[in-house]
Amino acid sequence: MELQVIQNKIFEIRACRVMLDFHLAELYQVETRALKQAVKRNIERFPEDFMFSLSTNEAKLLIDIGVSQNVIPPGYNAGATTMFVFTEQGIAMLSSILHSKRAIEMNIAIMRAFVLMRQMVIGYEELRKRIEQLEISTDAQFSEIYQVLTEWVSQKEAESKPRRPIGYLPNKQNDR
């Protein structure tokens, strides 16, 4: 499966990158109900930092945003069931309770997507630092240029004396 498809199913909720239960069920080609049942049977493997439930308000907000962006299927009811979200560690733990070949393949692809996203974030951080350094150096250069121009203009204003006009001046006697 293309990593971009998986990355589009990764959200940031409560300052964590997570995937929603029904997206994982879709990727693993199992029913969401079956995925949730497997998790509930092995709940001790899923502490809060591996998996958490969304509040009804969070789920409704996510669905409103998601349906408008075609990320969540229309008609998904947030109030009908508890929506589980899984962090990267929780998704890795899913591979220990889902034993299908498809689940193993998808877990590998999902882990690669998370790694790629981390690498992109690191790249963005490096780019941000380089832009800040460039801003600092150009600000200093423009500050120097501005200072020189200001001094030059003030010198010109101080030196300005009335000058004799240049060019042909008609003789006032011939003006009749």
CB neighbour list of residue 38: distance below 8 Å, 6 or more residues apart: 94, 97, 98
At 37 the pLDDT is 92
DSSP state letters, 109-166: HHHHHHHHHHHHHHHHHHHHHHHHHHHHHHHHHHHHHHHHHHHHHHHHHHH----PPP
Average pLDDT over all residues of the chain: 80
Q: Answer whether residue 41 shows pLDDT above 90.
A: yes
At 80 the pLDDT is 60
Are 25 and 116 in contact by the 8 Å Cβ rule? The answer is no
State how far the Cα of 92 lies from the Cα of 71, in Å rounded to an integer: 23
Write the class of the CATH domain 3-126.
alpha beta
Mean pLDDT of the region 157-172:
70
Mean pLDDT of the region 77-99:
81
Task: Tell me 8's DSSP state.
Answer: T
Q: Which of 38-52, 77-91, 138-152 has the highest mean pLDDT?
A: 38-52
**Whole-model pTM above 0.85?**
no
At 78 the pLDDT is 55
Mean pLDDT of the region 54-71:
71
Partners of 86 in the β-ladder? 19, 51
| Through-space distance between the first and last CA atoms of the chain, rounded to whole angstroms | 97
At 32 the pLDDT is 87
| Position 1 confidence tier, pLDDT thresholds 50, 70, 90 | low
Q: Answer whether residue 132 shows pLDDT above 90.
A: no
Q: Answer whether residue 51 shows pLDDT above 90.
A: yes
- Residue ranges of the domains in the chain? 3-126
